[in-house]
Structure 1
């Protein structure tokens, strides 16, 4: 069973694997984020045959989503031969709940100047298994398999994969990776979620190459300010090394 069943060309029904950690009657936002990446990839491939890469994905979370069918729409904001800006919106009951703005870039040979200053993290096989469902309820977290080395609360490296596909149809490398982007906000919490609520309002991923494989690694740091805001910052990795970054701003609310 995937995260979503396709109902029509633009409608998708969440399965039990989508239920959230803050409220199991609501969708965890990670699968809807991956769904929007998927429809952007599909829209691109329907319009052109050069496979522009998704280099930046900037999501705004406009509200919660019940465990109910959602609809999506895609539009090209800034068309171009080598660079495009595409916007995808996810709706429920006529209300926009999640918006993605994605910059797409062309492929060209930069192998001679490639490199990164992001540090590597240990491979998954060198990390102990860790069950995030010991901290978080919900079908989405239960669907994830994790291995983690936590230095202290708010600082950890970990790998995540899942046997659950986004849909019963092929999806591209960024959509597959995006299944896990939003998990970072709860994988090395500075506080127990029963003591402090810290949902994120957004997520921005910058990717300097397409992810490879089905597992995604994270090197995550969590910061909390003195007046109600926090930040989860992650460098993300695949089996070949660093891929990019994911950032999430939080509203921090002691219970």
Structure 2
């Protein structure tokens, strides 16, 4: 017998009898039966971080493939580890019953702290401005249905650049309103995995009333862990009449750049 969904969710997921139980806060905005990619990504990040041997290891990369719509239903995870001396690779799967619905390839790096010399090429002190304290307009994507969902209820968003009502590049700050996992701390990598999937939304180029642009994957690369509760994104989307598109997002905390994210979009005309 299937396990019921949480009736009054205070977190996006909980663990029950060895299964990940998603609440209504995991839902995507387009179909209440399917999860938002950010919810699935944050869960995959949590499972991967739970497998790290100790705190000297940190996740640096996650390449997530959304094989099928991830259902708002009990899920199981399985992990395969490929350890090395300085890096560790792992594969984390999410399954609905016996069906693979999402897979993530992770790279963890063993830390070794040192002080960077002055004038290192490629190091950027740039910040995403204005900061979250100076922004107030929510990133409400035109044509996106309202209702209980991950994007509207589990995440707070504030526009920092661009015009969300018009097509083109956009920038926004995001933070989580609730924990991803009931009873567990949401880590910086989980925060990044949760919100980086929204890059294609804040930088839409085709009206969602007449086009679908579903995210098929997410590649997230961090060169340092975001500090604080806010993560900022500067995003730009490109699409083609052949049916594919990409979104490139540069990621920031309030102190400066932390990494990049890339999404592949599947673009279709609505019938």
Using the size of structure 2 for normalisation, the TM-score is: 0.86
2:39 is matched with: 31
Change (3 A) 1:119 1:190: farther
RMSD: 1.8
Change (3 A) 1:160 1:220: same
Shift in Å, 1:165: 0.8
Report matched runs for 1:59-98 at 5 Å.
59-76=64-81, 78-98=82-102
Question: Are the aligned partners of 2:94 and 2:100 in contact in 1 as well (CA < 8 Å)?
Answer: yes
Of 175, 182, 206, 2:221 maps to: 206
2:36 match: secondary structure: coil
Report matched runs for 1:100-115 at 5 Å.
100-113=104-117
Report matched runs for 1:34-53 at 5 Å.
34-44=42-52, 48-53=53-58
Change (3 A) 1:194 1:129: same
Question: How far, CA to CA, are the matches of 1:133 and 1:6 in structure 2?
Answer: 32
Q: How many residues align?
A: 250
Question: How far, CA to CA, are the matches of 2:262 and 2:43 in structure 1?
Answer: 19
Write 1 or 2 for the structure with the bigger share of helix.
Answer: 1
Large movers: runs of 4+ above 6 Å? none
2:134 is matched with: 126
For residues 192-221 of structure 1, what are the alpha-carbon distances to aligned partners after superposition, in whole Å with 9 as ceiling and x for unaligned?
212110101110011101111121100101
1:181 is matched with: 196
Verify: 1:146 aligned to 2:152, yes or no. Answer: no
Which 10-residue stretch deviates more, 86-95 or 149-158? 149-158
Q: List runs of 5+ in structure 1 lacking aligned partners.
A: none
2:169 is matched with: 155
Change (3 A) 1:112 1:65: closer
2:269 is matched with: 254
Using the size of structure 1 for normalisation, the TM-score is: 0.91
2:28 match: secondary structure: coil
Change (3 A) 1:171 1:142: closer
